[in-house]
Structures are given as structure tokens and as C-alpha cells.
Structure 1
Amino acid sequence: MRIGYFLSTEEYVPAELLEQARAAERAGFEALWISDHYHPWTDAQGQSPFVWSVIGALSQVCRLPVTTAVTCPTVRVHPAIVAQAAATSAVMHSGRFVLGVGSGEALNEHILGDVWPQTDVRLEMLEEAVAVIRELWRGGFVNHHGRHYTVEHARIYTLPDTPPPIYVSGFGPKAVDLAARIGDGFVNTSPDADLVRRFRAGGGDKPCQAGFKAAYAQTEEEGMRIAYERWPNAGVPGELSQVLPSPRHFEQAAELVRPEMMKDAFVCGRDADAHLAKIDEYAKAGFDEVYVANTGPNWQGMLDLYQREVFPRLR
């Protein structure tokens, strides 16, 4: 299993994200995830830089493969623009780039005043967007007049030698079936073997990526406190994460979340065994790659923990 590091753009300024990427490579992590948000989930997280600028900068500070986890190419950004951004990213990273896509959240996608569609429509839009992106990556001029998108006389001139893979996120049966049908790989955050089996039943033996969050601290209780302060939204249930429109609304919903619930959503503290156990959950579920994010100020401590205690026992 490949172990990667998850760069949380919701929490850190660009310079710190670049510093984390350098340190993750030195520590022995093999790849990077990076989130793509317009807003953080809560004001306590406090950041949200433009992901494509950060991805370009990453190409200058490390050589780790990068996957967007995940970009929504349907509402806030037209798929023709995502196609150009991803093509440039693949060129800058010498082909070590994967475009991870998903159907998105109102938190990021509502900002231009567009209607936030129902789930079935969002998935339909995602399928058409991926088709537009792949058509543009073939080179030549593209004219597309679809149900959701129009492209006229568009051509991407800066293209990688090989188009980047497109991995598709899915959490429910319909989304997983779409991922299997159109994706080159699968993205998720839960160690759910049923979802992996469903994806591979429909899509074949394609790569499956997943990620989880940690809150490194000297004690489990301290890690739990940090996680609760920064990411109480991790305990928000159901479809709220897809439909709530602003950090303020997530903070209101998170009033129902109790601090002890963070132990279910995060690996808290500095116990290497806890990290190894979490990684093992994803391995047993059938994932090929797992990415770990740290919340709070102690990210260097988590990287050191992996270099010193986790990686030697895994490898």
C-alpha cells in the first residue's frame, strides 16, 4: 500500500503547505493529496488558497505525485477551465498528477448564485464535465453543446504527453457506479469494503485511494481537543456536508457534535499503533493508497512519527 500525505488547504497558508510537502517527502511519504475549496468548513480552520496556484508551486519544491482530493468541475469552475488547469499541472509535475473529481458541496459551489442541484443532477453534470475534459485533452478544437455545458472553438495548447488519470469520488451507490463507469480510479474517505467491491465490480481492477485525518499531540485528549476546535464538522451527519452553504452553517450544525466524537473521526495523540491500525482498516477494505492529514499546529510531529515508527513497521 502506498502511504501519502494530505495537504489541507482549509487550514494552512500556501507557504506552510509547501513546507509540509517538502517535509513529507523527506519523511518518506510517497504521494500527496490536496483539497480544493473556496471556503474552509469552519472559520477556525481559517484558510482556503486557490488550489491550482499551490499545485503549480508544489512542482518546484518536491517530486511527489499529486492528486486533487477532490475538485468539483461542474458549477464554480467550468470543466473547460479545469481541463486547462489540470493539463498544466500534469506538465509541471512531469506527469505525476491525478485529477480527482467529485460532485462537490454547496459550501464551495454556490458562490456565484447558481442553483445547487439535486444529487442526480449533480452526478449527471459530473459525467458530462469529465467527458468535456477528456475531449479537450485529445488536442484540437472542441465544440460541445450538451445539456449542462457549452464549449465553442476551444483548444488546450499546453498538454502533457499522456493525459492525467481522472479518479472519481463516490460515497453512495449511484456515485460509486458512476465512478466505476467513467473513472480511472476511485476516491473515498471511509474504509468501506462494500464500496470498493462495488466500484471494482463495475469498473475493474482500478486504483482506489482513501484518506483519513489525524490530530497529533502529546496525549489523545489533547489531540481530541485540537480536532474538535478545528474540525467539529467531521461529526456532522448525513448529507449536511453536501448542502450547507457556509462555514457559519457548519458551525451551527457542529453545536450538536460532542468532543468525544472526534475519536471516531480522527486518530488523536501520538500512538503509532493507532495509525497502523487505521491504515490496516483501509488495506483490508481493498484500498491501494491511503493519505493521512494532520490538523492543528503539530504536523511536523506527525511526520516524524511516521518516519520513526510507522514506516519502518509497514515496510
Structure 2
Amino acid sequence: MTIVGFHASHEQLPPSRLLRAVKRAEDAGFDAAMCSDHFEPWSVRQGHSGYAWSWLGAALEATRFPLGVVTAPGQRYHPAIAAQKLATLAEMYPDRFWAALGSGEAINEHVTGDPWPAKDERDARLAETVDVIRRLLAGSEVTHDGLVHVDRARIWSLPEIPPPLFAAAVSTETAREVAAWADGVITVDQPLDELSAFMAAYRQAGGVGPISVQVHLSWAPTDDEAIAIAHDQWRQSLVPAHLAWELDRPADFDALTADATPEKVAGTLLASADPGRHLEHLAGIAELGVERIFLHHVGTEQDAFIDTFGERVLPQLKAAAR
């Protein structure tokens, strides 16, 4: 059965409101949740970016379902500190916490003042970082001298079972590369033929564990409102991935998308007032064999979305996925 989760977007809401939203999502029938881990929002209009790791402790304590995070250790987070955070949450909340690791985006990592590496170096750095984290979570003392540097690090408070380390990936090339180390993979919504190719690339390269898809969507009582919400909050979706990794300020994204029309933004995600249209789209993803689908309503008002989808989408989607 497909797990249907709620995505908590730190870029768009203050942490206190996100905490209330994730509790409401559990009450409404969502099976799980995940969150972003940004230092800055994508857009000045979004206006928030709380610290995911403080929030995760509160959210795990306030709920009972699984929670995960998409994060990028290696520059903003030293791998030893990343491993310590992962171990602490997994020890406190066994079998409920996971992390998806990616190579990062300049908008979050530039704050260290270190140079932003080219993509091939970022990917190599991630592979080293994952190796360091896994060794630390296994209880080893680790010294490493490469693209990341570690001196005699050891995690003293370990969980009985290390948390799953998924990979965050978009392209089929990355799906093949991460299959060697990932306990699962999470990607973003894309046309079904491309998503199917992504899944095949991961599995054929030996990838194991669940495949998850994060679905950005916009829902409101009318189509016009849903489109307006997407245009206000999610127009950075028009920036190609290879460029989005390189821009380092929210104002840069705003400048690149300043002339974007509501209709053009709506073409990057499903913006509709009809829960049936959303259900049909999500069912198509589930039919591919995706194990986990995380829904992100790109608006800043989450309550009505949670309640409506909890009543009119989740039960039907879960039944169809069976």
C-alpha cells in the first residue's frame, strides 16, 4: 500500500505554524510527514526558513507517525555533526525518523563562505560524507582526509538501529549513481514516463528500499485562487534544476521569474480546486509502484488543504493503491 505523507515547507511558514500543521495532518489521516531543510527561502515572498532540526525534535514528540527530512551534509553541516543529529533523533524516536541526503544548493550552503563546488565535486563530496556518516552511526571512530575532513570523531549516543539514509535525486543519472549507497530514494513529481525511467534507473543499478515522490500542488476553493497561490508562492519552479542549484539568494530567483505569468507557473504543477483531479494525478503516480507520496500544497494556508484532502483524497488514493 502506498504511504501518503504531508510535506512541511520551512520556507513558507514559521516553525510554530508548521508544527500545528503536521499535527493536523496526522489527525486528518496522513500516514507520515517530511520537511525541507533550508537556510533561506526560495523567494523573498515566502519569507521564512526555520531550523529543521530543532523543529524535527518537536514534531516527532508531538506526533506518532514517521517523519523525515531532505538535507545536504558536507558544507553547511560537517558530516560528524550531521551524524550526531541523525543518531540523536533515531535514538529518541526508533523506527520513525529518516533522512534523504543530497549534494545541496548554493542558496543554503553559501553562508559558510566556502567556495561552491562544481556538481561533480559536490556529488563526490556527498559520497564521502555518506561513508563517514555510516561509519559513525555504526559506532566507529572516524578520521578522514579528502573532500571532507574528520579527526577522530565518534558518536557516543547511538540508536539501536541506524536511521535509513535515502538519496535525494532528480535525474536518471543521479538515480544510478546513488543506488550504490542509498537505503531508498526520493525525487520530485515529473511526467509519468520520466518518473518511470527514473525508477527503472535506480532499480537496475541495484537500488533498494522505498521510492518516494514529493508532489507540489496547489489547491483552493476555486481554480483561479489555486493558480494565484502557485504564482505567488512557487514560481521558482520555472528555474531549471541545473541553474537552481547555483543561485545563492532568494532575490535571484525572484528576478529570474519576475515576468512569469500565472498560467506558466501553473504549468509546472497541478493547480486545481477539484480534489478529483488531484486524486487522478496522484493515483497515476501510485500505479507506477511508488511506495511513498508526499503532498506539498504550495500555499501558506494549510488547514483547509489538510482537511479537504484528508476527507476527499487520502481514503480514495489509499484504496486505489491497494
TM-score (norm 1): 0.95
Change (3 A) 1:136 1:205: closer
Equivalent residue number for residue 310 of structure 1: 313
Q: Distance in 2 between matches of 1:274 and 1:88?
A: 41
**Which residue pairs with 1:58 in the alignment?**
59
SS in 2 for 1:239: helix
Q: Distance in 2 between matches of 1:240 and 1:140?
A: 38
Q: What is the one-letter code of the residue matched to 2:197?
A: D
1:300 to partner: Cα distance: 1.1
Q: Which runs of 4+ in 1 moved over 4 A?
A: none
Q: Does 1:108 align with 2:108?
A: yes
Q: Which residue of 2 aligns with 1:213?
A: 216
Q: Which residue of 1 aligns with 2:124?
A: 124
| CA deviations over 1:209-256 (Å, ceiling 9, x no partner) | 111122221111111111111111012224111111100100011124
Q: What is the CA–CA distance in structure 2 between the aligned matches of 1:203 and 1:38, rounded to whole Å?
A: 33
Q: Deviation at 1:175?
A: 1.6
Match of 1:193 among 193, 196, 205: 196
* 1:11 is the counterpart of 2:12: yes
Matched residue type, 1:40: P
What does 1:1-315 align with in structure 2 at a 5 Å threshold? 1-68=2-69, 70-145=70-145, 147-191=146-190, 192-314=195-317, 315=319
Check conservation: 1:73, 1:79, Cα contact below 8 A.
Answer: yes
Asked whether the equivalents of residues 172 and 197 of structure 2 are also in contact (C-alpha less than 8 Å), the reply is no
* Percent of residue pairs identical: 34
Task: Return the offset for 1:205.
Answer: 4.2
Residues 174-215 of structure 1: CA distance to partner in whole angstroms, max 9, x if unpaired?
A: 321222111010110024110010001112442101111222
Superposed CA deviations along residues 242-281 of structure 1, whole A, max 9, x for unmatched, are: 1111001000111242211232233324311121122123
- After superposition, what is the alpha-carbon deviation per residue over 1:105-129, rounded to whole angstroms, capped at 9, x for unaligned? 1111111211111111111000000
CA-based RMSD of the aligned residues comes to: 1.4
- CA, structure 1 residues 137+3, in 2 after alignment: closer, same or farther (shift >3 Å)? same
Q: Label 1:274 to 1:71 Cα distance change in 2 as closer, same or farther (>3 A).
A: same
**C-alpha separation between the residues in 2 aligned to 1:144 and 1:312?**
49
Indicate conservation of the 8 Å contact 2:169/2:186, yes or no: yes
SS at match of 1:109: helix
Q: Structure 1 257/238 Cα, relative in aligned 2: closer, same or farther at 3 Å?
A: farther
- Bigger shift: 253-262 or 27-36? 253-262
Distance 2:232 2:266 in 1: 13
Q: 2:187–2:214: 8 Å Cα contact kept in structure 1?
A: yes
| Contact preservation (8 Å) 1:35, 1:51 | yes
Please say which of residues 122-131 and 195-204 is displaced more in the overlay. Answer: 195-204
Q: Tell me the amino acid that sits aligned with residue 195 of structure 1.
A: F
- In 1: Cα distance, 2:51 partner to 2:11 partner: 10
Question: What is the letter of the counterpart of residue 122 of structure 2?
Answer: R
Distance 2:289 2:258 in 1: 35
- Is the CA contact (8 Å cut-off) linking 2:180 and 2:207 kept in structure 1? no
Distance 1:214 1:171 in 2: 18
Letter in 1 for 2:17: E
Is the partner of 1:54 in helix, strand or coil?
A: helix
Distance 1:264 1:124, change over 3 A: same
Normalised to the residue count of structure 2, the TM-score between the two structures is 0.93
Q: Secondary structure at the match of 2:248?
A: coil
Q: Give the stretch that moved more between structures: 236-245 or 32-41.
A: 236-245
- Once the two structures are superposed, residues 3-52 of structure 1 have per-residue CA deviations (whole angstroms, 9 ceiling, x without a partner) of 00000000111111110111000010011110000000001111001110
Q: Distance in 1 between matches of 2:141 and 2:241?
A: 42
d(CA) in 2 for partners of 1:97, 1:238:
27
Q: Hey, what's the Cα distance between the residues in 2 that align with 1:204 and 1:239?
A: 24
Name which of structure 1's ranges 103-112 and 87-96 shifts more when overlaid on structure 2: 87-96
